[in-house]
Structure 1
Amino acid sequence: MNRLDAGRRSAVRTRRNARHRLTVLLLVAVSLVLAGAFPAEGASGSSPPGRNDRQLQAALDRVVAAGAPGAILLDRHDGRTTRMTSGLADMATGRRMRAGDRFRAASQMKSFTAAVVLQLVQEGRLGLDDAVDGLLPGVIPHGYGAGVTVRHLLANSSGLFDFGDDPRVLEPYFAGDLGHVWTPRQLLDIAFEHAPLFPPGARYSYSDTGYFLAAYVVEAVTGNSFDHELRRRIINPLGLRDTSLPTVAGIAGRHAHGYIVMGEPPADLDITYLYPFAWAAGGLTTTVDDSATFFRALFDGRLLSPALMAEMKTTIEVDDSDLPSRSGLGVQRWTPCGVAWGHSGNSPGYLIYTWISPDTRHETVLMINEDPQSLEAAAATAYIDLLNRAYCSR
């Protein structure tokens, strides 16, 4: 393993934010090294492109020119939706990015999982302050994580060790087995070998372990699989035809390939086909339209009652985010120009942010198919600049 690989592996063990941690799973496993140019595709929307559209397209092209293989922007303001693309979805074939291409949405999955759990709270089938070990007899070792509640799981304040910080989780991928299957129970067992980081509720610490347990709570309360409840409560009612929680390494349908820059000299590696072991914490595949539809439905009150939305939007301080934010129950809150709700997602080879205004009239979704850990600083700056420019241009 070269110094670059070793450095990334070390970074995995020290950065607790899953948006950064999940980006290094495959490293030297992929043999296809590619490079190419990134032509832009134009904008499409509900009305002819105007001056602001041209500015946004130029900004999207700058993200690609700075190093991202491809990008998709969905921008919705006061009923008008514009979709723009730039660059490539597949560097091997030269296939251009399309607005409907699917991709891995990573931790945006947490918002879906939280919505399912809160619907069960709304139905009186469990309480936010119910003890998790009481809801999941036999799943959590006796005495482990005493005092952890459902609220702690969703708020990332449980203190439970995040299984992804154990180097054993990554070993199969470092060894080249991208299709290695970790079951949720195996990953929980790894987490439970480590002492909790702090007493429940003491502070914030991103934890996929907590969202696995939240999904197990759903299964225990309903008697159905988590995937069944996700489809019945969220995906099917909202008509999210391009959203799923896969249990195979591939991405169904037309999709954007994901890339990471590795090696000496640096080159793009295709890391698309990794087993989605992040499950209820980050296994989602979706499109920009489906992401926008879900967050709009969530924040305009179609999924949860006002009382439960108030609980979801009760935030705590986040201390490990690139962009200053606060964390609610499965959602994030930013203040780029007023308030923006939503969630970010960082999966190997992909980065997505969805921002939506409190009145749901304004929404921006921005996805690139480059791993943020290997993204050039200029491209990262261009990404954040475009996210702010699109959302705040109203």
Structure 2
Amino acid sequence: MKTTVKLASLIAAVGVVAGATTASAVQPDELENLVRNEKFPGAVLVTQSTSYSAGVARRGYPAKPPVNGRVRAASNTKTFVAVVVLQLVAEGKVELDAPIEKYLPGLVRGEGIDGRKITVRQLLQHTTGLPNYTAYLELDDIEAFRDRYYEPRQLLDLALAHPANFQPGERWDYSNTNYILAGMLIERVTGRPVAEQVTKRVIQKIGLRDTYWPGVGDKTIRGPHPQGYGRAKDGEIIDITELDPSAAWAAGQLISTPSDLAKFFGALVDGRLLPAAQLSEMKKTVPADMAPGSGYGLGLTSVPLSCGGVFWGHGGDVFGFETRGGATEDGRRVTVMVTALPGTFDPANADRAHAAVLSTVDNAFCEGDKR
């Protein structure tokens, strides 16, 4: 989920995958900077040909983060969900510009909220004006939050109890509520769980071996993974790796790895997941504040690069982990992962830490080698 966060030598400190192609030294330098100056316990960078890790996998222990350990992918899940919706569009089972009322009759109602006036496209693009249910979760107490289970309908009801922020189509405003409805849409149209549909239509289709949708009640991260850290209500830094992900559901429940995320966005941009017509619709953007100069399509973000052009991706923030990156149309792929939200260890410099993550992504795209 997107949160309210605003944004010993080098060889000994940074792990390099055996046999990886040598890339510009700016990549490990910046990764080490995320640990040393921005206070992230661990950081990982994966490109189409190289992988690095810096810092530690667990505080108090010397081992570095696994270069391809599993992490909570958070809002990167939205792109997976949007792909499934667009596949259903290609199959003639969903109309992009039809009202959500057509698929979820009578469900979307509230003060200034009417599902007959909100289209599927607007859901995927965050232009509905629907309140963001995460604003009404008790996120300041992460120790209580980590153990709470939510049904998707509870999350929707949290949002619908509040008035619309604006009328559909007026502007862009990120709301996790949109993707709860997108998940419900998938389930209504297919008659199957959204987790199954994402697994069959995306994860298995392109062979993402380390990406999965955790089951009900599963608070763990299976397989090799770094620990993620958060700040408790009393200010103490705690290990927040294990938590119930149900508060994210179709807005952010997936677990993945940096390599799988890079592979996913590469396959998407290459046209291996959607027909050309639907990929074109996905890449029609409106101005957004996901990153400086960014645009938001249908579950997909365009981010300008300092060296010219853009990369396509999304990103995800959840207690314990932040991920950023994506893919370019010429075959470059980058994922950067850190094991705490920006500002967890240094609240006064949260914006600077987040900007440093974005800068690391940009430099990895611009200074690294091409495929």
Question: What's 1:70 paired with?
Answer: 42
- In 2: Cα distance, 1:187 partner to 1:261 partner: 24
Quick check: 1:112 aligned with 2:80?
A: yes
**Shift, 1:144, TM fit:** 3.0
Could you say if the C-alpha distance between residues 55 and 233 of structure 1 is closer, same or farther in structure 2, counting changes exceeding 3 Å?
same
Question: What's 1:149 paired with?
Answer: 119
- In 1: Cα distance, 2:30 partner to 2:102 partner: 51
* Mapped contact 1:353–1:366 kept (Cα < 8 A): yes
* Mapped contact 2:123–2:178 kept (Cα < 8 A): yes
Question: Which one of the candidate residues 330, 333, 342 is aligned to 1:372?
Answer: 342
- The normalised TM-score by structure 1 is 0.83
- The normalised TM-score by structure 2 is 0.88
> Does the residue aligned with 1:90 lie in a helix, a strand or coil?
coil
Question: What's 1:90 paired with?
Answer: 58
* Mapped contact 1:314–1:328 kept (Cα < 8 A): yes
- In 1: Cα distance, 2:158 partner to 2:249 partner: 16
Moved over 6 A (4+): none
Quick check: 1:389 aligned with 2:363?
A: yes
* Mapped contact 1:261–1:374 kept (Cα < 8 A): yes
Unaligned residue ranges in structure 1 (runs of 5+): 1-17, 24-38
* Letter of the 1:89 counterpart: A
Give per-residue Cα distances to partners, 1:21-51, cap 9 Å, x unaligned: 389xxxxxxxxxxxxxxx724212655535x
Question: What's 2:27 paired with?
Answer: 56
Could you say if the C-alpha distance between residues 213 and 392 of structure 1 is closer, same or farther in structure 2, counting changes exceeding 3 Å?
same
**Shift, 1:94, TM fit:** 4.2
* Mapped contact 1:346–1:372 kept (Cα < 8 A): no
> Does the residue aligned with 1:107 lie in a helix, a strand or coil?
helix
> Does the residue aligned with 2:220 lie in a helix, a strand or coil?
coil
**Shift, 1:138, TM fit:** 4.4
- In 2: Cα distance, 1:174 partner to 1:328 partner: 31
**Shift, 1:146, TM fit:** 3.4
> Does the residue aligned with 1:311 lie in a helix, a strand or coil?
helix
Quick check: 1:227 aligned with 2:195?
A: yes
> Does the residue aligned with 1:355 lie in a helix, a strand or coil?
strand
> Does the residue aligned with 2:56 lie in a helix, a strand or coil?
strand
Could you say if the C-alpha distance between residues 340 and 176 of structure 1 is closer, same or farther in structure 2, counting changes exceeding 3 Å?
same
Further displaced range: 190-199 or 370-379: 370-379
* Mapped contact 1:355–1:391 kept (Cα < 8 A): no
* Letter of the 1:297 counterpart: A
Question: What's 1:196 paired with?
Answer: 164
RMSD: 2.3
* Letter of the 1:323 counterpart: P
Unaligned residue ranges in structure 2 (runs of 5+): 7-11
> Does the residue aligned with 1:108 lie in a helix, a strand or coil?
helix
Could you say if the C-alpha distance between residues 255 and 112 of structure 1 is closer, same or farther in structure 2, counting changes exceeding 3 Å?
same
* Letter of the 1:40 counterpart: A
* Letter of the 1:105 counterpart: A
Quick check: 1:348 aligned with 2:319?
A: yes
* Letter of the 1:124 counterpart: G
Question: What's 2:299 paired with?
Answer: 330
Q: How many residues align?
A: 351
Quick check: 1:250 aligned with 2:250?
A: no
* Mapped contact 2:78–2:251 kept (Cα < 8 A): yes
* Letter of the 1:383 counterpart: V
**Shift, 1:262, TM fit:** 5.7
* Letter of the 1:198 counterpart: F
**Shift, 1:216, TM fit:** 0.8
- In 1: Cα distance, 2:276 partner to 2:282 partner: 10
Quick check: 1:268 aligned with 2:268?
A: no
Question: Which one of the candidate residues 195, 210, 229 is aligned to 2:178?
Answer: 210
**Shift, 1:313, TM fit:** 0.3
Could you say if the C-alpha distance between residues 150 and 178 of structure 1 is closer, same or farther in structure 2, counting changes exceeding 3 Å?
same
**Shift, 1:309, TM fit:** 0.8
Question: What's 1:290 paired with?
Answer: 260
Further displaced range: 322-331 or 204-213: 322-331
Over the matched positions of the two proteins, sequence identity in percent amounts to 35
* Mapped contact 2:142–2:232 kept (Cα < 8 A): no
* Letter of the 1:303 counterpart: L
- In 1: Cα distance, 2:117 partner to 2:204 partner: 35
* Mapped contact 2:15–2:64 kept (Cα < 8 A): no
**Shift, 1:356, TM fit:** 1.3
Further displaced range: 366-375 or 302-311: 366-375
Give per-residue Cα distances to partners, 1:134-171, cap 9 Å, x unaligned: 211243348734310100000000111111112xx217
* Letter of the 2:3 counterpart: H
Question: Which one of the candidate residues 37, 43, 49 is aligned to 2:16?
Answer: 43
Question: What's 2:100 paired with?
Answer: 132
Could you say if the C-alpha distance between residues 308 and 238 of structure 1 is closer, same or farther in structure 2, counting changes exceeding 3 Å?
same
